[in-house]
Amino acid sequence: MLAYLLGLSALATVILLVFRHLRKVYTGPSAPGPLLAKWSDLWLVCKVYRGSFETWNIGQHASAGKVIRVGPNKYSIDDPGAIKQIYGFHNAFKKTTWYSTAADPKVGPNDNLFSVQDRQIHAAMRKRQAGFYAMSSIKSYEPSVEECVTALVKQFDALCTSRLTFDLQVWLQCYAFDAIGQMTFGHRHGFIDGGGQDIEGMMGFIWNVQSFSTLLGLTFPWGLPFLLLKYGVPTAGVTAFVGRLRDRAQAKSFDATSEDVDDNKPMTFFQKTVRAEQADPEASYKYRVSVVNQQNMMAGSDTTSIALTSVIYNCINHPNVWKKLKDELRMAAESEKISSPISFEETQRLPYLQQVLKEGIRIHPSVGLPLWREVPEGGANIADKSFPAGTWVGINPWVAHRNKSVFGEDAASFNPDRWDPTCTPKHKLDEMEAYSIAFGAGTRVCIGRHIAHLEMSKLIPELVRRYDFELIHPETELETENNFFVKQKHLEARIYAHENPF
């Protein structure tokens, strides 16, 4: 009898699952896309696993239009008009369960700012962290970044002398990693000083964590055993590493409660979180304030290094841009408008530098998958199609940035002049700005974007003033891997010092 009942309930469960699946397949709007994708998520999983989803995604939208079906209830969107609706500040759609795999499973989806889905909890969390990352705090982090620029220049000088070749992306990640470490914990991990080495395999760990959670977010729960076999438990390494950094920072005996602590003096992220915890331990725990430190390590190294690499790589391939940048900086130096090292404030007054940075981030956004959001109760009409509640929709920054109706026929080319207000009318600049989503958009826009700007604005001018770069294999196409971050690979280069740095 028991066996009969168990069999019956197993059958009922299977029927229910099949029914739920068919409902997804038939209630979603029809849209072009691979046939298999309509029936199973397996197609998307395999496509993402292969590591070049953004290329396929761009091609599909270019040939088949604004809406592409990539799973039974998943759609990739390319429509500037949909940005506000999906991501905007008023009633933006919430993040999908895909993000919960970026959380500590012991805590659940509300573990960190990136993973949290509930909009109210997110708003409360973000409010508590916003000050740490605000533009007004940037000045206080500048000395930390400057130290890392100096350390990198020292290493690059040595590479000029030795004439050795090096991997551009790896060195720029060393810089990004050390800079965020110094801002967060008050000391460099030592990636730069260690000669461009992946200390304790951290870069590899972080990359694996991202691959793991990207694929798990699409396959949970059935994919878990396969992913554990392939990657092990990748978070363990990162947590241990961050723990060691935290202990070292703690050992500096910072008493956050001390009356002598001056809020107007520069503090690291770590010190700020300790101070917040001591002031209100309950709220700090509830809103995960101390997770900020680990969050910085996870979110702030691959992303910024990809953007930096894009700028340098594209400048190497466009010597006219490199020259124009040099001219701008040389003139500014000669007329004493910039100091050495350059200050963040000064970099904001160099229009061509800002155009080049913006274009570098546009042409190669660090994130290369759709930023998934869930259609809310009542459904939604997007790009002239009706989507039922619960459908996943998302815009991929790579797709958005290749949209020719927004960025012009040369959308796939690196052209910093497109951001020049004397060449492009204001309404067009606004249109491009609104569809530039390298840092995401709306309520969930990257909280670390000013930090990234600080790191980029401080480093690029110092490189332009001192060096020229050369690719060892200029004829080969840029190799990349997309696991959510689209990282450049095997970018072998050589560096030459200017005779007269300015």
Least Å distance, CB 500 to ligand HEM, is 31
Cα 6 to Cα 1, 9, 11, 19, 20, distances in angstroms: 9, 5, 9, 20, 21
Rounded-to-integer distance, Cα 482 and Cα 439, Å: 16
Least Å distance, CB 281 to ligand HEM, is 22
Q: With respect to ligand HEM, which residue has the nearer C-beta, 217 or 448? A: 448
Least Å distance, CB 291 to ligand HEM, is 9
Least Å distance, CB 208 to ligand HEM, is 19
Over the Cα atoms of the chain, what is R_g? 24
List the beta bridge partners of residue 485: 367
Least Å distance, CB 455 to ligand HEM, is 7
3-class state of residue 336 by DSSP:
coil
Q: With respect to ligand HEM, which residue has the nearer C-beta, 214 or 415? A: 214
- The annotation status of 446 as a binding-site residue, yes or no, is yes
Indicate the Cα dihedral angle 472, 474, 476, 477, nearest 10°. 120
- Read off the tokens for 113: 């700012």
Rounded-to-integer distance, Cα 27 and Cα 73, Å: 9
Q: With respect to ligand HEM, which residue has the nearer C-beta, 159 or 397? A: 397
Cα 17 to Cα 27, 66, 105, 216, distances in angstroms: 15, 30, 25, 20
Q: With respect to ligand HEM, which residue has the nearer C-beta, 267 or 447? A: 447
Q: With respect to ligand HEM, which residue has the nearer C-beta, 156 or 372? A: 372
Burial 341-362 (b: 16+ CB within 10 A, else e): bbbbebbeebebbbbbbbbbbb
Residues contacting 482, CB < 8 A, separation 6+: 48, 51, 52, 53, 54, 368, 369
DSSP state of 481: E
Q: Which residue has the tokens 């029914």?
A: 19
Least Å distance, CB 68 to ligand HEM, is 18
Least Å distance, CB 304 to ligand HEM, is 4
Binding residues for ligand HEM, rule: CB under 6 A, are: 113-114, 126, 180, 295-296, 299-300, 303-304, 307, 366-367, 371, 438-440, 444, 446-448, 451-452
Q: With respect to ligand HEM, which residue has the nearer C-beta, 38 or 272? A: 272
Tally of helices (H runs) and strands (E runs) in the chain: 22, 12
Closest CA to 168 of 485, 479, 501, 499: 479
Least Å distance, CB 412 to ligand HEM, is 19
Q: With respect to ligand HEM, which residue has the nearer C-beta, 126 or 286? A: 126
Minimal CB distance residue for ligand HEM: 448
Q: With respect to ligand HEM, which residue has the nearer C-beta, 66 or 453? A: 453
Q: Output the known binding site for heme.
A: 446
Q: Output the known binding site.
A: 446
